[in-house]
Structure 1
């Protein structure tokens, strides 16, 4: 969370350099599109600095950052194309939102949404790059390993049970004959 988003290109470039999104871009399918963003949250009551995939924003809407989806989204509650001062065009790159400061005007009321302010990572402002991103959190790796181990035991136990059941059935059928 930041007090406010950069208001011009120079401020945007400084913030982008500080965030250093290129450090993580190599993990993405499109590393050139993994860039700095400053956006409001879904409630439009705080501004966030994140590294996320650049999107083309369409139909003249502002953006917001979804912690749940870990991506930049269209903010259907705010249409920057209708701003009297500095309206946005029909299409613009999400990482150029600083050109439309009206998008960052915060509201101090809660808005019902499917996003949660506490969802997603609490320790990182780095967005997902793709579905194949390798996790580097040791607890997640251990958790995935534990799940695979439990699944293997369950499948193995089930297979042994089925084999024993079939053998007993065949034995009983032959015994009756």
Structure 2
């Protein structure tokens, strides 16, 4: 996961849509002029256009080029001041990144950019606070197991109390 980069949060702009080809991308990058922001992060700041974590806004941001996992489209999280692997795109888009990639190459994965233009409803755009989507079922399973364990303990204790009461009743 990328380290936080405070100057990147200062560079965020909400826009209507991200550039869809390299000439538009380069034009927007020139206008954004990332070299004017403090270069105090672990890598130089570069132009990016990404979703916010909720998937309801397109953001232009100057952020360090970030190594991302395959099968995930990125987002930029202002609070965490970094680019995140936001949502698993394997079942959503046909050209989902199938190998690790750098965030600046997002233009090669137009499916992630089309999500920026397309619908922003559905579970794939729910805020995760940095928790990968694949981890949600695991968390739910753990919660269910904890609840079952608690219920089992309650059941065993009640059974013991009932047995103790029966022993006391038979002694009388």
How far apart, CA to CA, are the structure 1 residues paired with 2:75 and 2:97? 15
What residue number does 1:142 align with? none
Aligned partner of 1:8 among 1, 15, 21? 21
Structure 1 residue 50 corresponds to structure 2 residue 65: no
Q: Superposed, which structure 2 residues align to 1:1-177 within 5 Å?
A: 1-31=14-44, 34-75=45-86, 77-79=87-89, 83-84=93-94, 86-104=95-113, 105=115, 106-108=119-121, 111-114=126-129
* Structure 1 residues without counterparts, runs of 5 or longer: 116-177
**Superposition TM-score, scaled by structure 2 size:** 0.56
State the shift of 1:82 in Å: 6.6
Deviations 1:94-126 (A, max 9, x none): 0111222221314146724438xxxxxxxxxxx
Instruction: Output the TM-score relative to the length of structure 1.
Output: 0.55
The 1-side partners of 2:96 and 2:102 are apart by: 14
Q: Deviations over 1:13-43 (max 9, x none)?
A: 1111111111225333432xx1011000111
- CA shift at 1:8, angstroms? 1.2
The count of aligned residue pairs is 111
Gap regions ≥5 residues in structure 2: 1-13, 131-172
Q: Following the alignment from structure 2 to structure 1, what is the Cα–Cα distance between the partners of residues 25 and 91?
A: 21
How far does residue 46 in structure 1 lie from its aligned partner after superposition? 1.1
Q: Which runs of 4+ in 1 moved over 4 A?
A: none
